[in-house]
Structure 1
Amino acid sequence: MHERQKLMAMLRKYDFVLYELQLYLDTHPNCPHALRKWQEVSALRQKTASAYIRQFGPIQPRQTDGNAPWGWIEGPWPWEKEAN
């Protein structure tokens, strides 16, 4: 697996864990263990997203500096095999 694919797979995993923890925290808002885990995974996701953006460009339009060319149109699209 190439570095781009590894980073994107890690981002998807972190997003899944964060979503599940969010759902859990919705019903258990006073659970310190879940909150710590959410903060931990959130920091890992941010670190991974920063690494991806540094190496391959923005993931979302709001992550660009506003200068063309638009990096997200040059890589594989999410539905293309190379992106997954």
Structure 2
Amino acid sequence: MDANQLDLLKKIMELEFACQDLNLYLDTHPEDQKALQDYNYYSGQLAMLKQQYSQYYGPLMVFGHCQSQYPWKWVEDPWPWEIEY
């Protein structure tokens, strides 16, 4: 895993955390317009980064979430517990 791939993966994890945190907050504060705007912004950024990652490094998720280039790339990357952060 090269430095660019690791950096992109870290950014994806940061945005996933932010989206999850805002999602939980919005469950109890559905009228908070600023939180909803932040959630929509971060989820849009997350979708773009996931698309970018999949394009350059292969799929992040399997089971129809994105297409794979030839050859099948799902098994080429290290598993999350094998990555040295």
Give the residue type in structure 1 aligned to 2:77. Answer: G
Whichever structure has more helix as a proportion of its residues is 1
Q: Normalising by the residue count of structure 2, what TM-score does the alignment of the two structures yield?
A: 0.86
Equivalent in the alignment of 1:63: 65
Provide structure 1 residue ranges, at least 5 long, that are not aligned to the other structure: none
CA gap of 1:32–1:64, structure 2 versus 1, over 3 A, is closer
Which runs of 4 or more aligned residues in structure 1 lie more than 2 Å from their structure 2 counterparts after TM superposition?
62-70
- 1:72 Cα deviation (Å)? 1.6
Deviations 1:51-76 (A, max 9, x none): 10010010111234367632120111
Q: Normalising by the residue count of structure 1, what TM-score does the alignment of the two structures yield?
A: 0.87
- The CA RMSD measured in Å over matched residues stands at 1.8
Aligned length: 83
Equivalent in the alignment of 1:12: 13
Provide structure 2 residue ranges, at least 5 long, that are not aligned to the other structure: none
Residues 5 and 57, structure 2, Cα contact 8 Å, conserved in 1: yes
Q: Which has the higher contact order (CA 8 A, sep 6+)?
A: 1
Give the residue type in structure 2 aligned to 1:79. Answer: W
